[in-house]
Amino acid sequence: MHPPSPFRTLKSLMTCALMTFAAISHAQQVLRVTAIPDESPTELARKFAPLGKYLESRLGMKVEYTPVTDYAAAVETLVNRKVDLAWFGGFTFVQSSVRSNGKTIPLVQREEDMAFKSVFITAKDSGITKLEDLKGRTLSFGSQSSTSGHLMPRNFLLAAKIDPDRDLKRVSFSGAHDATIAAVASGKVDAGALNISVWNKFVEDKKVDTNEVRVIYTTPAYYDYNWTVHADMPAALREKITQAFLDLNQNTPEGAEILKLQRATKFVTTRAENYVGIKAAAENAGLLK
């Protein structure tokens, strides 16, 4: 039996290389996207649909949205490269950075996320008018991994010398901002803490009666949500994604629709250093492991 000729060996190697390249190229034709479930699955899907179509047209590749069951799953799917792009809160970005040894990169955030806020709400007849009145009462946060629904509200409570675990009668977690509003409105809890953007949207859409449920405290501003990728994503693709978000404009019908659904005036670039304060707050509250 004759050994294969150098030509046949080279041809075989080239064929394998081409097949590998084709497989990689095919894999890169799909951008897999997820988001922390800070609202109901139907609302998240509705908000993402026009953005997904826009990204497909700008990137020249298919965009697939994959919902996850909880915040931790969103972090793990990006860290383990099961998705390529994730919508994170500030805290979930910090968690992803810690879990990946700094291999997640925040690309863009809404302009609003440079100075985001949380609100504490309560029923009008609760007798609660300030943070100090929460002592001995029941309070609902959102998800345990939520920046605006748990970490920062807890941080500001601690700053006001109120320890939620010692000074409140009971602390619960609704899982999402809209669920927190529902818990307060139905009387399941005396008060709730949530994302100001979701609260304002509910008020705008008349999904909450402000004569029955009201804001008692608005937190100071902090950095929050962003779109994050894994550092292993090719730089060229990262740049195309970033530019696609930066190019969204309220003066075009498509841009206006997407920005309204994303509750944004525009997107701006961001960087990991912006979330140092979030990390410090998480460590201070004992929430970062």
pLDDT of 286 reads 86
pLDDT of 4 reads 53
* Structure tokens that stand for 106 in this block: 């925040």
pLDDT of 234 reads 97
Confidence of residue 83 (pLDDT cuts 50, 70, 90): very high
* 2 pLDDT above the threshold of 60: no
DSSP 28: T
User: What secondary structure does DSSP assign to 102-167, as a single string?
Assistant: S-EEEEEEEGGGGGB-EEEEEETTS---SGGGGTTSEEEES-TT-IIIIIHHHHHHHHTT--HHHH
- Contact by Cβ (8 Å): 190, 123: yes
Confidence of residue 287 (pLDDT cuts 50, 70, 90): confident
Instruction: Give the predicted TM-score (pTM) of the model.
Output: 0.83
* 127 pLDDT above the threshold of 70: yes
pLDDT of 288 reads 84
* 28 pLDDT above the threshold of 80: no
